[in-house]
Structure 1
């Protein structure tokens, strides 16, 4: 099953209808529709970006943004503020993230003038082989989205402490205080998050019978009286206690202490193979971001596998072989080239991307020559029915929440964190107030695949933070939530800024496309792909004439008008000369960019 389609199914979201089925005019009548108002400057469909001098934060929840700014105003730096905001989002946006999940970040440190990447992803149980896992799966040909089998070690807490110890300025106990307070006293649920909570409850309820997993603790934590509604005050005292313990006792409380014992005891009761030794052995990894040039002095920087970040870099290396600006942004030509570049890159993702400790990545994937070779496979007039992976040499040149924070000294943090499918796999350890991720679902069961399940291995990961340089200098943090949408979103935002001169807010508010399908990193290496052409999902802002031309070119196109499949964008750009910061956030989420 395609990753996006499966995610929508778990979230209780029906797959999209056709463009004709999704129009609202038939329901309420053309005379009752209303469009966007006018603006004195900029695009009618985008509000102004936020500009400030002393500090900036952009997150998926206004209260999390305010917490980050409070940390900055109180003398903390961007890393302190990012961790504080991330903790708050785990409470306030549990449909996208939490301390039961993993974390990745790119940090620009002005003191060393370097980018630092952290991979805070967890591993599978060391005491369980692929054969033993298959015995538990029975006749199933893939890992389930819920229950104990897709759980991997939660990496977020360790990544927080790694970031704090290397770059932070405040103790973790102080950084976590705002979220502890909100968890105990309560906060009003935001509208989009309320919608996702309702969908999550319906999906988990449907899956309880199908998969037979324990949803009782999760139900008591978030859904004791049904799904919380927008504006309803929500409290999570269990999470308050957990975060307070972490702040006072440190990361070892989570991986070696009482909290670890509670987690392991609970998981083992559910049939998991995790042990205390697995939790005690967990550690994050500092990694080197890779950057590729695009145009006009811009470079896109991403993290290496086990993330899919290099897919965005492959797309950039393909697309810089054609001048997209010769056409209008909403033209069929531009969307065709972006789509085909994505399909080419993802053919390689499905074949090569995995935990590098088990399967080294062919670094030629990022070479300009390889990008030219892949670009040459694009038919400018037709969608190619199926793209296979390339043959790069091994050696060569070298639901989710995203947030970003920058401070007056130039420290910049691009951070993404997730439980994978919405809230995670449905399992909530006794009295701890968070849900375990189900990231292990992304393992392949084909032993020949680089991403095959193995003991102590990290699965393929969809979440990716990004960073942009301009003329060799640090310029912009960038991120976009949403599974396989993320590399596509990074590239579309970059194109909007570089090729079409959009400002930071316009670049995120502009209508997006999301191609889903093709071979997946969970499938077997051999045999036919389940969906070689895939489906091109587009937002209503894509012109109707463009959609018809794309269909005539052989693309399968569907229109979705609710924003769900197109990610959640945040960004901060910082002028390296003046230090003035510009922030943007996502109209498709509840978020806010703000500065001072």
Structure 2
């Protein structure tokens, strides 16, 4: 398994060693990340898209744990506050219900055991990493303006420094209360096989129809948010069918369906798959240019068609058809860079994230990307860092991703899974808002098309296009190609000659983690993000 923090990786490994499943380990990892990386994700205040391969049935399901916009929201009220910090940016947090679905269907261990590492670390404390120092600095003014955040992250009036300890007693108490709700629910079921399911339902109810919903709604009412008790009571995460394309040689790439933006990665790969990549290198300017231009076309379609599928149907089958991919492929000019506005192709009208991956000895596999957005806001004395996902919606009434009560946001999280002859081959993800499908495509190509190992793939210099409206308000389309400082100078010169407006060393490049599995299902290779000092991968015997 692999994650962005060694404490989370260690927790997941301990759960696997104790007989837990990939689902148990995933929830343990996500819970520890909630504690040690509160700026990235939260099992309680955030949202999640994830893919799960069941080693027994060989089926893959996609977990949609993204809650709706609160029912008090209106476009008129939200628009003047769209760029402001606050509780009005939070959609209903869906992650917890999604994690409980995984444990209900695939878990082997009681919830208390799964949450124990996170509870222990939250109570005892953990050292501040250099990554955490960076993010706290970015959020310093918001921290100083919040009594809850100040208590957590200030020492004698200064931000906690790298190496200092942070404890989260309120968060520990909340996780403990959820574990107790599970225990009580399981006990009430008696000595039956339904104990685990009853305990999981009790933990779901404690959050969505009990004290935590009440606390979040009270805070929302106090500070101008849009969430109601009714919103919480009727919410349920979903297990849905993934979407996919065939690459070649029995390789199938799976993604999360809309309202996730994962379709953008699949569209770009569908454009690229007809090319002969043998003998090529990921650093060749022609290779890079073709990938960039394919990504731009995919993102133009994302902007035009991808939103809440319950409100505006998304033409998934058409967007992923081979005929349509051929049409888009013909629009790529190898000598010239396309710029926004880029027309959508169909004839229609219309970091602040973390990623981790787990496999177990039974052949189960989990690819996860879970997020808060970028806001740093704690709800009262719950210890819950809440999301800011409303900032990812449009205030343009004609946009498919427009703010509306009960709508679901076009979500940026989109981990991927690759099957080879029906069995897991690659599990991967990359953080960073609109960077995600682009960098994931680069890592997939590095391994599958160019033969690199996963660690080499995640270490490759990344390039990120912004030739489309950004996901986060105010949604600029900058027409800039961002490349890392390690990018080859000759490649930069070549791409500039084709018309790419290049910025070196600035941009959201995100963090990536990847697992490659051999044909027999054992872990062959792990790729842990080298840009992140705390990233860690481990093979559990």
Deviation at 1:375, TM superposition (A): 1.1
Deviation at 1:580, TM superposition (A): 4.1
Aligned to 1:390: 345
Indicate if the aligned counterparts of 1:295 and 1:498 stay in contact, CA closer than 8 A. no
Indicate if the aligned counterparts of 2:217 and 2:229 stay in contact, CA closer than 8 A. yes
Could you say if the C-alpha distance between residues 222 and 325 of structure 1 is closer, same or farther in structure 2, counting changes exceeding 3 Å?
A: farther
CA distance in structure 2 between the partners assigned to 1:551 and 1:580 by the alignment: 40
1:248 pairs with 156, 162, 180, which one?
Answer: 180
Deviation at 1:581, TM superposition (A): 4.1
- Following superposition of structure 1 onto structure 2, how do residues 224-239 of structure 1 map, counting pairs within 5 Å? 224-225=155-156, 226-239=158-171
Alignment coverage as a number of residue pairs: 512
CA distance in structure 2 between the partners assigned to 1:586 and 1:273 by the alignment: 37
1:169 pairs with 87, 108, 128, which one?
Answer: 108
Query: SS at 2:378's partner residue?
Result: coil
Q: For the aligned residues, what is the CA RMSD?
A: 2.0
Deviations 1:551-596 (A, max 9, x none): 11110011117xx721211112222426344322101112100123
Aligned to 1:272: 225
Deviation at 1:521, TM superposition (A): 5.7
1:406 pairs with 330, 343, 359, which one?
Answer: 359
Aligned to 2:17: 73
Indicate if the aligned counterparts of 1:365 and 1:392 stay in contact, CA closer than 8 A. no
Indicate if the aligned counterparts of 1:144 and 1:150 stay in contact, CA closer than 8 A. no
Aligned to 2:439: 489
CA distance in structure 2 between the partners assigned to 1:327 and 1:145 by the alignment: 47
Deviation at 1:368, TM superposition (A): 1.0
1:575 pairs with 518, 523, 531, which one?
Answer: 518
Indicate if the aligned counterparts of 1:158 and 1:284 stay in contact, CA closer than 8 A. yes
Aligned to 1:378: 332
Query: SS at 1:464's partner residue?
Result: coil
Q: Does 2:311 match 1:358?
A: yes
More deviation in 217-226 or 114-123? 217-226
Q: Does 2:500 match 1:555?
A: yes
Q: Does 2:246 match 1:316?
A: no
Aligned to 2:122: 183
- Following superposition of structure 1 onto structure 2, how do residues 182-221 of structure 1 map, counting pairs within 5 Å? 182-202=121-141, 204=142, 215-221=146-152
Unaligned runs of 5+ in 1: 1-56, 209-213
CA distance in structure 2 between the partners assigned to 1:80 and 1:97 by the alignment: 18
Deviation at 1:390, TM superposition (A): 1.2
Indicate if the aligned counterparts of 1:102 and 1:418 stay in contact, CA closer than 8 A. yes
Indicate if the aligned counterparts of 2:49 and 2:415 stay in contact, CA closer than 8 A. yes
Aligned to 2:260: 307
CA distance in structure 2 between the partners assigned to 1:247 and 1:415 by the alignment: 22
Deviation at 1:199, TM superposition (A): 2.2
Aligned to 2:368: 415
Deviations 1:508-533 (A, max 9, x none): 11111111242346789xxxx953x6
Could you say if the C-alpha distance between residues 328 and 578 of structure 1 is closer, same or farther in structure 2, counting changes exceeding 3 Å?
A: closer
Indicate if the aligned counterparts of 2:392 and 2:473 stay in contact, CA closer than 8 A. no
Q: Does 2:323 match 1:369?
A: yes
- Following superposition of structure 1 onto structure 2, how do residues 427-442 of structure 1 map, counting pairs within 5 Å? 427-442=377-392
Query: SS at 1:476's partner residue?
Result: strand
Q: Does 2:157 match 1:223?
A: no
2:29 pairs with 82, 85, 100, which one?
Answer: 85
TM-score, structure 2 normalization: 0.90
TM-score, structure 1 normalization: 0.82
Aligned to 2:462: 512
Indicate if the aligned counterparts of 2:339 and 2:467 stay in contact, CA closer than 8 A. no
Deviations 1:22-79 (A, max 9, x none): xxxxxxxxxxxxxxxxxxxxxxxxxxxxxxxxxxx20110011000000011111111
Specify which structure has the bigger relative contact order, considering alpha-carbon pairs within 8 angstroms and separated by 6 or more residues.
Answer: 1
Indicate if the aligned counterparts of 1:327 and 1:333 stay in contact, CA closer than 8 A. no
Deviations 1:215-252 (A, max 9, x none): 33222233354332222111000000011111221121
CA distance in structure 2 between the partners assigned to 1:450 and 1:545 by the alignment: 40
Aligned to 1:566: 509
CA distance in structure 2 between the partners assigned to 1:101 and 1:546 by the alignment: 39
Indicate if the aligned counterparts of 1:512 and 1:538 stay in contact, CA closer than 8 A. yes
CA distance in structure 2 between the partners assigned to 1:321 and 1:145 by the alignment: 45
CA distance in structure 1 between the partners assigned to 2:163 and 2:472 by the alignment: 39
CA distance in structure 2 between the partners assigned to 1:306 and 1:259 by the alignment: 26
Could you say if the C-alpha distance between residues 224 and 463 of structure 1 is closer, same or farther in structure 2, counting changes exceeding 3 Å?
A: farther
CA distance in structure 2 between the partners assigned to 1:320 and 1:593 by the alignment: 30
More deviation in 173-182 or 579-588? 579-588
Deviation at 1:448, TM superposition (A): 2.1
Could you say if the C-alpha distance between residues 302 and 550 of structure 1 is closer, same or farther in structure 2, counting changes exceeding 3 Å?
A: same
Aligned to 1:282: 235
Unaligned runs of 5+ in 2: 182-202
Aligned to 1:25: none
Deviation at 1:327, TM superposition (A): 4.2
Q: Does 2:420 match 1:473?
A: no
Q: Does 2:448 match 1:498?
A: yes
CA distance in structure 2 between the partners assigned to 1:558 and 1:523 by the alignment: 21
More deviation in 380-389 or 174-183? 380-389
Indicate if the aligned counterparts of 1:349 and 1:521 stay in contact, CA closer than 8 A. no
CA distance in structure 2 between the partners assigned to 1:291 and 1:496 by the alignment: 19
Indicate if the aligned counterparts of 2:363 and 2:521 stay in contact, CA closer than 8 A. no
CA distance in structure 1 between the partners assigned to 2:335 and 2:250 by the alignment: 30
CA distance in structure 2 between the partners assigned to 1:66 and 1:530 by the alignment: 40
Q: Does 2:47 match 1:102?
A: yes
Could you say if the C-alpha distance between residues 550 and 413 of structure 1 is closer, same or farther in structure 2, counting changes exceeding 3 Å?
A: same
CA distance in structure 2 between the partners assigned to 1:112 and 1:365 by the alignment: 29
Indicate if the aligned counterparts of 2:83 and 2:473 stay in contact, CA closer than 8 A. no
